[in-house]
Amino acid sequence: MAFENPFRSTLESALDYDFVTELAPGVWKVYEKDHKFELLAYDITDQLFTNPEQPWNGKRTELWELLQPDNGAGILLDSVSQILRHENLVSLVDVVQVRRSNFGGPYSRERWYTIWEFCDAGNLANLLVRDTRSSKYIHVTTDDGVARIKVREAKGDETEEQETGKHAKGKGKEIRKEGTNGERKETRIDMEEGHAPPTGKRTTAYIDLTKLRISEFLPEFAKLQGARFLPESLCWHVLCSVLKALAWLHDGATSLKFNEQLGQYIEMGPDDPDWQPILHRNITPVNIFFTHPKRHETYGLCKLGNFGQAFVSDLSSGEAEAARYILAPPQGQSFAPLYSLREKDFRYGDAYPPLEDQPYTMTSEYRALGEVILGMMVTPVTSGIDHMSVIRGIPVAASLGYAKKAGYSSKLLLFVQWLMEMSIEDMVQQMEKEAGWSRGMDGTGQPLVTKCTSALYVWAFKRYLDFRASVDSARQDLIMVEEAIHLQRAEDELDKQQKVAEDILMTDILDKQDKLAGDKPRDHTGKLKDSDDEYA
């Protein structure tokens, strides 16, 4: 069929892109030809065919049957593209078919690629690293299976050399050599297991800090003087951006909705009664991406990506109360019986840190986001231990106390406390109370907040604006992305008006020439005619 019509829709759409550089096997940097936008192309051929090298000898997978990328009206492709098209999501741009050069052999030359936005400024995880100039060190050790922590100050003449050596034999092993006062020692780090080494070994390790003795940890952690880590403005930027993305995934809401009765913004709209809430289920620093500023804004766009664990519920947003109790399998699991999820949700509730088999809910999304913001406020002081594992192992009150000593505003700390400690019902009631809304003495009146996530975004955005209006040094004369977009649109409109004025002036000049030649005058349409034949 491809030979009957070699430029079908899928092959023709590939002509819109230039494949420039292969960044990794099956991952290409591409440019959109019209606007020269940088994009990323991922090879998904292996997921579409059981025998991708020789599709004619295999079968199409279930994913192919759902997406039908060779059909412009595929069952799910159009719907997925519409859902993943948001300013704060890493958006799916296109699905194209590419025909490679034929180097001989019985192999297919055709490959299928998904085209995604390219977040050229990396992800948040790149920022959550320990400052090598820091004078504070935390050493976590295990002795007979019990995790212990010790804080020490670096001496003025002390030098520390850290070198990540060659990987040891065996999956997940790494050798780290540390030099202190001329001494050298080897430390084995198990990056795969994620817990304390077996009993009897004493070593620095990648551990689960939830097993740490809090009575030992808190006094040592309290000795650390709070030092502001990432700027508060960046914390607000990430908080509002991810909440806006979640408002779209949870509620299908995209814009602020003004409440005429209270004279303020409460939630977001539009209201889509058929929207089915989507849980991301993987909100971590590595999945929060940035783009470079396009104009003079302080920070580029912040986008939530990696939808490999996303869960689509079968409840409509019209079922507001029921939607708050959406139950999804725990992270890392693709399926769990509903009766089992209900039983475990009743048993665990909103426990934090989450248990291994705890169902994933909307509250879990809020906890994960709050955890990320805490990680941005608490300075990494560990070596060889994942920063977010440390944050999860520290009691929320201790992390907030550290951030308070570091000078972060009370509004940011209070909002993060909401995310980390309050249930959805408590957050809704608190937002209604602050808005001056009452459900009556018996509490059965009409609720003000029906979509918790979109209301949380509005509340966070209001506090972000208050922060920007303050005299806090962290405000940094911020220029928000929305302001940069507004300025760009204003400049585009000015350029458009100037172009129209220039076209009218040019038409006047041509009219004068036409009169001298005795031709019929031109109409002032704001644009030039393509040909003088139109006036004949």
Q: Closest Cα partner for 234 from 290, 286, 306, 305?
A: 290
Token couple for 360: 């994933």
127-160 residue pLDDT tens: 988 766 655 555 555 555 444 555 555 554 444 4
Compute the distance between CA of residue 442 and CA of residue 192 in angstroms, rounded to an integer. Answer: 53
Q: Is the pLDDT of residue 187 over 60?
A: no
Of 43-52, 223-232, 254-263, 435-444, give the lowest mean pLDDT range. Answer: 435-444
Please name which of 204, 150, 152, 196 lies closest in space to residue 176, comparing C-alpha atoms: 204
Per-residue pLDDT averaged across 443-470, rounded? Answer: 84
Structure confidence at residue 209 (pLDDT): 47
Kindly indicate the confidence band of residue 100, based on its pLDDT and cuts at 50, 70 and 90: confident
The more confidently predicted of residues 78 and 46 is 46
Sign of CA dihedral 413, 419, 421, 422: positive
Where does the pLDDT of residue 454 fall: very low under 50, low under 70, confident under 90, or very high at 90 and above? Answer: very high
Q: For residues 419 and 361, give the distance between their C-alpha atoms in angstroms, rounded to a whole number.
A: 13
What phi and psi values does residue 123 have, to the nearest 5 degrees?
-125, 170
Identify the pLDDT of residue 178. 37
Q: Which residue has the higher pLDDT, 1 or 530?
A: 530
Q: What is the mean pLDDT of residues 150-175?
A: 43
| Average pLDDT value for the chain | 76
Between the ranges 317-321, 381-385, 423-427, where is the mean pLDDT highest?
A: 423-427
Torsion angle, alpha carbons of 165, 170, 173, 177, to 10 = -30
In DSSP notation, 282-334 reads: ---GGGEEE---SSS-SS--EEE---TT-EE-S--TTSHHHHTT--BPPTT-S
The predicted-structure confidence for 277-297, as pLDDT tens digits, reads as follows: 999 999 999 999 999 988 778
Helices 452-469 and 424-434, packing angle to 10 deg: 50
Residue range 50-68: average pLDDT? 82
More confident residue, 488 or 347: 347
Query: Region 454-481: what's the mean pLDDT?
Result: 80
* pLDDT value for 441: 58
What is the model's pLDDT at position 59? 87
Q: Between residues 109 and 365, which one has the greater pLDDT?
A: 365
Instruction: With a cut of 60, say whether residue 344 has pLDDT above it.
Output: yes
Average pLDDT over residues 86-109: 79
**Per-residue pLDDT tens over the stretch 206-238:** 344 445 555 556 666 666 656 678 999 999 999
Higher pLDDT, residue 535 or 516: 516
Examine the pLDDT at 170 and tell me if it is beyond 60. no
Could you give the residue ranges of the DSSP H alpha helices within 378-480?
A: 387-393, 396-406, 410-421, 424-434, 452-469
Q: Give the pLDDT band (50/70/90) at residue 419.
A: very high
Beta bridge partners of 147: 142
394: left (phi over 0), alpha (psi -120 to 50) or beta: beta
CB half-sphere exposure, 9, CA atoms < 13 A = 9
Q: What percent of the chain has pLDDT over 90?
A: 27
pTM to 2 decimals? 0.76
Pick the residue with more confidence: 439 or 248? 248
User: What is the residue type of 182?
Assistant: G
pLDDT of 186 above 80: no
pLDDT score recorded for residue 65: 81
Amino acid 130 reads R
Higher per-residue confidence, 347 vs 444? 347
| pLDDT at residue 393, as a whole number | 79
CA dist., res. 518 & res. 520, Å (int): 7
- Tell me what the mean pLDDT of segment 322-345 comes to: 84
Q: Which of 131-140, 307-316, 516-525 has the highest mean pLDDT?
A: 307-316
SS3 state of residue 280: coil
User: What HEC string does 344-393 produce?
Assistant: HHHHHCCCCCCCCCCCECHHHHHHHHHHHHHHHHCCCCECCCCHHHHHHH
The percentage of the chain sitting over the pLDDT mark of 70, rounded to a whole number, equals 69
Q: Give the SS3 label for residue 140.
A: strand
Residue with tokens 């590939």: 14
pLDDT at 189 over 90: no
Give the model's confidence band at 257: pLDDT under 50 very low, under 70 low, under 90 confident, else very high.
confident
Tell me the β-bridge partners of 360: 328
User: 524 vs 170, which has greater pLDDT?
Assistant: 524
Phi-psi group of 252: left, alpha or beta (phi > 0 → left; psi -120 to 50 → alpha; rest → beta):
left
Dihedral, CA atoms, 485, 491, 492, 495, nearest 10 degrees? Answer: -170
Which of 177 and 320 is assigned the larger pLDDT?
320
Per-residue model confidence (pLDDT) at position 151: 56
Q: Is the dihedral of CA 431, 433, 437, 439 positive or negative?
A: positive
Q: Which tokens hold the place of 480?
A: 């928000």
d(CA 115, CA 91): 9
